[in-house]
Chain A
Amino acid sequence: MTEEPIFSLRNRWFTTAVAVTAGIAVVSATVGFLWLPTLQADARLAGMWDAICSAAGIVRAAPNESLVVQGTYQTSGVIAFPETMENASAISIGRGATLALPCTVCHGARGLSEADSPNLAGQYPLAIFKQLVDYKSGARVNAIMSPRVAGMSDQDMRDLAAYYAYLPRLPGQHPATAGATPRIVESGAPMRNIAPCATCHGSVDYKAGSAWLEGQSPVYLAAQLRAFATGARHNDINQQMRNIARGMSSAEIDQAAQYYAGQP
């Protein structure tokens, strides 16, 4: 016995299945692409074809450039990729060491500060590079740093970042932390939209461009958090640090700063 051919107009299973499937597809497409878009009161659609393109998800230019909000201050222009500063050459590190001579006044002979300036030894190179670029562009402002960076070339900043990243981090004699990890560091505050610090600053995950915080001066850390909270510092690209710092209490800022200062 031979079976009847399936893909034949005489086979009612074939014709019915195809017709029903196609019918459902056509009806749902008509509703989804033609009817529903026209029901949206706020849709700025210029006719049928525009409605179809909109429902198909085609990217369209914003109708009016005035909708793009511009900041009243210089924003950071650094695009950080995890691989941006990888594999620095020995020449780059050496150049960085020479260029770093003026920096030693505040940041210490080997990148370890005794003046409540940031420790740079072993810092992620991308974090250093981003701050230097931001100082130069004016996205971050500091009376001492801004004029120092003004004359630096892009390569200078890369070399400095490579040199400081190459230096060993704070050695082990640093005092170990006393007491438990503060709740704000460990868990953040989900109901205030504050993520745990470790989400970006290492130990759970490292987000490109964020800094190594362990062993930094508590004065410096607290000052930066307060500067973010007031908006005096604003070179965090998506306001992530400003949003976090604004939601933190003054006590939490001090706890977090003390905690990271005490970490080896």
Chain B
Amino acid sequence: MLHSRRLILAHFWLAFAGFGIALVLGEWQMFIRSPLHAWIGNPEWYYRSVTAHGTAMAYVFPTLVSMGFGYAITEAALKRPLIGARWAWTGFALVAVGTVTAVVPVSLGLASVLYTFYPPMIGSPFYYIGVVLVVVGSWIWVALMSVNLYTWKRANRGTPVPLAMFANVAGSYLWAWTAVGAAIELLFQIIPAALGLTTTIDAGLARVFFSWTLHAIVYFWLMPTYIAYYTIIPRAIGGRLFSDPMARISFALFLVVAMPIGVHHLFADPEVGAGFKFMHSVFTALVALPTLLTVFTICASVEIAGRLRGGKGLLGWVATLPWRNPMMLAIAFSFVMLGFGGAGGIINMSYQLDASIHNTQWITGHFHLIFGGAIVIMYFAIAYDLWPHLTGRALDSFRLMRLQLWSWFIGMIVLTFPWHYVGVLGMPRRMAFYDYADPAIAPQALSVIASVIGGAILVVSGALFVAVLVRGHRAVRVEPGAYRFSVAVHQPQRVPAALNGFGLWVSLMLALTVINYGFPIVHLLSLPNTSVPVVRIGAAK
């Protein structure tokens, strides 16, 4: 039974509203710089749109989904009302106000700096203050997750923390720590410059701080998806979770190895030494460990569902899976995209291979396939699964849901595969204009047009998604019953203390951060003459 239904719905609807607008902007960007449209002439419009797209998709949308889903998990898994609902509304208000504060200067062209900030470019201070408010709002959620977990633990000594809550709190701690890097960059470097208090900025140091946030934030986006893999999918397709401890180990490992790896975004930067780049490369490779553990566990869980439905033989169980169930489609599509995206990621994390695709469209293709594909398609699945419990009404547009998931999958493949291809050919990213009349890049025109078509399919799919949810608000009233999570084959009666809390894993996360980031940051701080004049964006001309 979910008590804070209005709270959770508010988070989801604000998330999906931002997502919808940003989705259309993304397709507009693809279209106007493709050979299908004449060059718009003013690159500022393009970067303005990219900034809005990135800010909404990277900061607002996944943060709100994690928060809303986190509140739902807290009530459903701990089987008690959320402690601190008023604080939760405060957090939501901060995120909402922060979003508006950030988006207004972006819309006015006063902060076309992209969501990754890229100092020494400096935009309107309101943009950065808005982003800080979003982060502060989400930190309230982190604190609430912690408070709810420990209150429950005190009252239920000796009982294992439900897996969904364990994973949810792991995600919140990961976010709390990973957001610190960008917060330091904003509070001590960018906002003083934006307010005019300083006129120079150490761009190299700022990039190191941002890399602290930039990679682990992807695992924060991934957390709701992984929680859905483990705790929703096996139940939704009529199977059992293969292993509960394996799931806990995966989430614990994400906490440890997701953090000290961000310097792989700086492989082409001069301010970090090659030794640290290699160490970050090694730890990035280790992320494959919890990922592969998850792939194994979930495939095994799905196999259980197939065999329970009468599947026999080596692969016979695949045919008996409930393929008409939207949840089954979502997990299959998500895994396919995770597989391709992960394979591409192995190239990105390699110090040597990265050189051939660094800052090309390959990277854009990669993170759209992972985030927009593997992750977001599970956000859809989460919404579909939760909606009847939030609205008290049936969500039975199954044909529409299948169409939506299919079109999202196809659209994302058609969008990102050509992107990877032109990246290998050397097409740079973050550019507003490509002269396809030039013989050197004319052959890439066809691939770019394919990406535009993929983007158009995604816009249609996004509209279908909203349509399904709106129909859910108008459907017949039903009593959805208690919200349930997957049951493991061997439901744990007790788990080791290390897998029932976060002390060990958070300590390792902090220690690895110090080892992998401590020296580069202290060293850069100690160097003289490393600052450059800021470049004001949107200032009077």
Contact = CB atoms under 8 A, between A and B. Distances in A.
B92 to A, nearest CB: 34
B498 A13 contact: yes
A57 B283 contact: no
Contacts of B501: 3, 6
A33 interface: yes
Given A6-B504, A57-B520, A190 B497 contact: no
B512 A31 contact: no
A204 B112 CA distance: 10
Interface string B199-225: 110000000000000000000000000
A6, A57, A82, A203 — which one has the most chain B CB atoms within 10 A of its CB? A57
B275, B441, B508, B519 — which one has the most chain A CB atoms within 10 A of its CB? B275
B282 A190 contact: no
Interface in A2-23: 2-7, 11, 13-14, 17-18, 21
Contact of B504 (A13, A82, A196): A13
B497 A25 contact: no
Interface string A8-48: 00010110011001001100110111001100000000000
Contacts of B42: 203-204
A32 B275 CA distance: 4
A251 interface: no
Nearest to A180: B41
A46 to B, nearest CB: 17
B132 interface: no
A3 B275 contact: no
A56 interface: yes
Contacts of B537: 205
B276, B500, B537 — which one has the most chain A CB atoms within 10 A of its CB? B276
B541 A190 contact: no
Contacts of A52: 275
Interface string B500-524: 1101110110011001000110010
Interface stretch (B13-21, B375-383, B432-440, B484-492): B432-440
A80 to B, nearest CB: 7
B500 A3 contact: yes
A81 B196 CA distance: 13
Contacts of A205: 44, 535, 537
Contacts of A24: 282-283, 286
Contacts of A191: 435, 438, 440-441
A14 B498 CA distance: 8
A187 interface: yes
B225 to A, nearest CB: 25
Contacts of A202: 541
Interface residues of B, number: 54
Contacts of B520: 57
Interface stretch (B81-89, B266-274, B312-320, B321-329): B266-274
A207 B503 contact: no
Interface in B261-303: 271-279, 282-283, 286
B44 to A, nearest CB: 5
A57 B272 contact: yes
B199 A81 contact: yes
B278 A28 contact: yes
Contacts of B515: 25
A82 B534 contact: yes
B536 interface: yes
B106 to A, nearest CB: 16
A89 interface: no
Interface in A70-88: 80-83
B282 A186 contact: no
A69 interface: no
Given A7-B504, A81-B199, A204-B43, A17 B441 contact: no
B2 interface: no
Interface string B524-541: 000100000111110101
Contacts of A33: 275
B158, B440, B511, B533 — which one has the most chain A CB atoms within 10 A of its CB? B533
A21 B503 contact: no
A13, A54, A189 — which one has the most chain B CB atoms within 10 A of its CB? A13
B283 A196 contact: no
Contacts of A177: none
Interface string A182-193: 000011011100
A7 B498 CA distance: 9
Interface in A113-135: none
B282, B503, B505 — which one has the most chain A CB atoms within 10 A of its CB? B282
B352 to A, nearest CB: 11
A34 to B, nearest CB: 9
B256 A21 contact: yes
A225 B440 CA distance: 27
Contacts of A80: 533
B496 interface: yes
Contact of A187 (B433, B499, B527): B433
A190 B433 contact: yes
B508 A18 contact: yes
Contact of A4 (B440, B497, B533, B535): B497
B497 A82 contact: no
A67 interface: no
24 contacts: A3-B158, A7-B507, A14-B504, A17-B505, A21-B511, A24-B283, A28-B278, A28-B282, A32-B275, A32-B276, A33-B275, A55-B275, A55-B276, A57-B272, A57-B273, A81-B533, A82-B534, A186-B39, A186-B41, A189-B435, A190-B435, A191-B441, A203-B541, A204-B44
Interface of B: 39, 41-44, 157-158, 199-200, 256, 271-279, 282-283, 286, 431, 433-435, 438, 440-441, 496-501, 503-505, 507-508, 511-512, 515, 519-520, 523, 527, 533-537, 539, 541
Nearest 9 pairs between A and B by C-beta?
A57-B273, A55-B275, A32-B278, A13-B498, A1-B158, A28-B282, A32-B275, A33-B275, A3-B497
Interface of A: 1-7, 11, 13-14, 17-18, 21, 24-25, 28-29, 31-33, 36-37, 52, 54-59, 80-83, 181, 186-187, 189-191, 196, 202-208
